[in-house]
Structure formats: C-alpha cells, structure tokens
C-alpha cells in the first residue's frame, strides 16, 4: 500500500506486486540446498560416486515431478476456493479427508521441525566458528548463544522485512551460495582424485548399497514446502511455475553432483573415510586434506546454504500454521497473529537445537525414508489420481502438469511405497534376521 494525494485528500492505494520466475526459482533453489547436501557425502560414500550419482538423478526426476503435481493441486484448489495462500496441509485434508489429513499433518510438522532443528544446530555451530575466528570466543562459549543468535537474526529479518525484500535478500544469498560453491569446486578439484583411478575405481563402487543412500538423496531434493508459495507468487501461471520448479531444482542437482565428486574425491584415499557411518566432510576438515583453504570454504558454503533453505522452511511452516488456524497469509488478520505464528515456527526447533547437535542426523535419514516418501511421493500422486479420475464431473482449473496420465502417477507411488517397505525392513533389522536364519539352515 502507499499514500496518494487526490484533490487534497490522502487516500490509501493498493499496489500489486507480481512475483518473478527468477525469484521463484531462487526460492526453490534456496529451499533445496540445505541439510540434505551436508548429509549427502555420508550417505553416498559407501555406495561410491557412480552409483550415488545415478541415485541423485533419479531422486531429482521423481521429486521435481511430484513438485509439479503439488502445484497442479494448489492451482485447482485456488480455482475451487477463489483464494490464494493454499498450503500443503489444506491440500492434503481437502483431497484425503479429515482423518488422513491429521496423519499427514503430524508427519509434515515432524519432518519440517526436525530439519529446522538440524538447520539451527548446524547454522549456530558455523556461526560460533566464525565468532571464534574473530576473537569473540567468549560470547560463543555461552551455552546456546550461537543457535539463539542465528535463529534471532534470520528469523527477525524474515519477520520485519517485506516479502519482496526477503526475496531479494534470498536471491543474493543464492548467488553467494553459488560463488562459494564455485570456490569449493575450484579449490577442491585441484586436490581431488579426478584421474579416473580411486574415485571411479570398480572396487570403490558398490551399487548394492545405493538403496541405503536413497532416503538422503530424496531428502536433498525437498523443496515442496514452498510450492504453494511459488504458486501464489506466480498467480497460478502454469508455464512460469514449471520453469521455476525445473530451473530451481536442476541447478542444485548439478551442485550436488559436483559437491559429491569433490568431497569424495578428496577423501577417497584417506583410510576408512568411505566406511558406512563416517562423515567425509568432518574427515576433510580435520585431516587437512585439500589444504588450508578448502575446509573454511566448505564451512562458509554450508552456512549460506542453510540460510537460504531455512527461509523457505519458515515460509512453509507459516503456510502450514495458517492452514491449521484458518488464517490468511496477508492482511490485518495475519498481522494480528504474526508474532505468535513466528514464535510457533522458530522457538521449538531452537529449544531442541540447544541439546545434542547431532541428535537429528539420524532423523534426517528416517525422515527421508518415511516422511519424504510418504508426503511428497506417495500422497501427491494419489491425490492427483483422485482429482483427475475419481470425480469426472469436477471442473479442474489446471490441465495435467505431469504427462503420461495414470502411468506416471502409478509409477511414482509404487516406487515410493517399495522404498518405504525396503527401508522399513532394513531399519527394523528384518534382513539381518532372515540372513541369520538362512545361515543356520545352511
């Protein structure tokens, strides 16, 4: 809004701010580059560079298509209700019913709060390292100060700044992420093993272990919490939304592949660095492999990546809470409840992040295996199936945004369901149990 003088009378004039495709793609990219990329080397190292690269490309394709399905649902819901600001939880409840909507809501909040805890924990730790380097170790030594300062600074900015300002800031962060990433690749490539020996040697490729890397691969390409925001910003324009989602996810895919190559290529000759459960990034930073510059560059990159991603998660959880309380995303009613909403988004993960910094790394793996597969692969394809084919008399605003009709929808939820069953059996120890039984029989 702005004030305007008309014939000596001050009136309030509404301003229309249409979103840009570039800005929406930057929001998607920023949301994609986060906790997943930091956990990626740990998950993919046992499988090897070549199998894990194939897994990443597969995960990107599936997750991008599921993002388009969610966009299709959001556009149709906007057309049905006549209002913007449709969140994921409302899409779930409107398509699946009230009871299943509650289950999806609990899964959604658990997954997103778990990731936010990881962001605040890691972001605060990186901020503490920076403060130590500047001689402010007295402040960083205060229990929880690093995490509190990180959450208050970034959360306060998103709270007080206009959405257009936050978008410009996020665009700048994405550029900074790309710049530091180029630095990591440039410095790391010089010391990495790219001579087609150890990095891609057959003895270091274990395709049989790639399934265990899939949960983190899928988690790495999660951006779906901001899809309703993108649909709102681009006002339901299918062409712009498709371009924003593909561009916003394809750039992170290339970055993930390069990142994995550099990290694994630098530690591949360090004894034990590719073993299951070992963090190659920690090995890289502690062993001095790659020289004195690579370690700090990796730390700066991870901090910027977390900052870009946490903005998208804040918006996503705001959408979710406004769905729960039936509040608009803008206007006087939203402003009235803005402070409690932001507190609900930021305070719980901050409190949990003050405990064990590594407590939610296992949760990321479980979240990818069960939460991501359920929320962003199985359910969107089933909801779109029901919307397209169950009620043929229902008028839909958007034509299909994913081609091949029932074939593509069925392949998505069946593949995801298979992953859930396989990972569930693995994490429950059923495979090892049957191996022992068969061994005794033999």
The pLDDT tens digits for 294-314 are: 878 888 888 888 888 788 788
Q: Is the pLDDT of residue 82 over 80?
A: no
pTM of the entire predicted model: 0.75
pLDDT of residue 344: 92
**Contacting residues for 279 by C-beta, under 8 A, at least 6 apart:** 41, 42
Listed range (135-139, 342-346, 423-427) with the worst mean pLDDT: 423-427
pLDDT of residue 427: 62
Residue recorded with tokens 């990290």: 263
Listed range (17-26, 243-252, 393-402) with the worst mean pLDDT: 393-402
The secondary structure of residue 290, as a DSSP letter, is: T
CA 281/CA 264 separation, integer angstroms:
9
CA 266/CA 280 separation, integer angstroms:
9
The mean pLDDT value for 255-279 works out to 79
CA 184/CA 273 separation, integer angstroms:
19
Q: Is the pLDDT of residue 378 over 60?
A: yes
SS3 325: coil
pLDDT over 70, % of the chain? 80
Residue 12, beta-bridge partner list: 3
The mean pLDDT value for 15-20 works out to 61
Show the tokens assigned to 58.
């597969």
Q: Where are the alpha helices (DSSP H) in 192-237?
A: 210-220, 227-233
pLDDT tens string 321-333: 887 888 887 788 8
pLDDT of residue 242: 92
Chain centroid to Cα 381, Å, comes to: 19
CA 5/CA 25 separation, integer angstroms:
37
pLDDT of residue 215: 84
**Burial of 257 per CB tally in 10 Å (0-12, 13-18, 19+):** middle
Residue among 293, 338, 307, 335 nearest 166 (CA): 307
Kindly indicate the confidence band of residue 416, based on its pLDDT and cuts at 50, 70 and 90.
Answer: confident
Residue among 84, 109, 67 nearest 379 (CA): 67
**Burial of 332 per CB tally in 10 Å (0-12, 13-18, 19+):** exposed
Kindly indicate the confidence band of residue 14, based on its pLDDT and cuts at 50, 70 and 90.
Answer: very low
């Amino acid at each position: 809004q702005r004030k305007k003088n008309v014939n000596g009378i001050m009136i309030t004039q509404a301003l229309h701010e249409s979103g840009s495709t570039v800005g929406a793609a930057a929001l998607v990219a920023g949301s994609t580059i986060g906790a997943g990329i930091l956990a990626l080397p740990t998950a993919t190292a046992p499988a090897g560079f070549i199998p894990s690269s194939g897994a990443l490309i597969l995960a990107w394709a599936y997750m991008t298509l599921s993002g388009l399905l969610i966009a299709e649902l959001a556009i149709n819901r906007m057309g049905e209700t006549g209002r913007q600001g449709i969140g994921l939880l409302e899409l779930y409840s409107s398509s699946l019913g009230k009871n299943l909507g509650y289950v999806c809501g609990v899964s959604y909040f658990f997954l997103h709060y778990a990731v936010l805890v990881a962001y605040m924990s890691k972001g605060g730790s990186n901020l503490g390292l920076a403060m130590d380097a500047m001689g402010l170790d007295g402040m960083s030594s205060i229990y929880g100060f690093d995490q509190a300062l990180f959450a208050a600074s970034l959360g306060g900015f998103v709270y007080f700044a206009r959405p257009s300002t936050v978008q410009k800031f996020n665009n700048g962060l994405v550029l900074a992420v790309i710049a530091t990433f180029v630095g990591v690749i440039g410095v790391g490539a010089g010391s990495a093993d790219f001579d087609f020996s150890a990095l891609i040697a057959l003895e270091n490729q274990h395709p049989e272990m790639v399934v265990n890397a899939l949960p983190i691969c899928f988690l790495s390409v999660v951006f779906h919490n901001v899809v309703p925001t993108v649909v709102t910003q681009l006002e339901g324009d299918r062409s712009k939304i498709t371009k924003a989602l593909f561009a916003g996810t394809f750039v992170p895919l290339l970055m993930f592949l390069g990142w994995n190559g550099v990290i694994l290529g630098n530690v591949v000759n360090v004894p034990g660095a590719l073993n299951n459960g070992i963090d190659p990034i920690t090995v890289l930073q502690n062993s001095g492999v790659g020289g004195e510059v690579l370690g700090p560059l990796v730390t700066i990159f991870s901090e910027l990546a977390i900052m870009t991603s946490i903005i998208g998660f804040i918006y996503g959880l705001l959408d979710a809470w406004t769905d729960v309380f039936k509040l608009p995303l803008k206007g006087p009613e939203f402003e009235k409840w803005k402070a409690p909403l932001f507190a609900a988004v930021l305070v719980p993960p901050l409190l949990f992040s003050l405990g064990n910094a590594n407590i939610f790394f296992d949760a990321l793996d479980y979240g990818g295996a069960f939460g991501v597969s359920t929320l962003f692969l199985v359910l969107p394809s089933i909801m779109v199936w029901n919307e397209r084919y169950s009620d043929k008399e229902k008028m839909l605003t958007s034509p299909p945004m994913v081609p091949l009709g029932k074939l593509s929808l069925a392949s998505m939820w069946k593949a995801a369901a298979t992953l859930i069953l396989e990972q569930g059996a693995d994490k429950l120890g059923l495979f090892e149990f049957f191996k022992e039984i068969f061994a005794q029989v033999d």
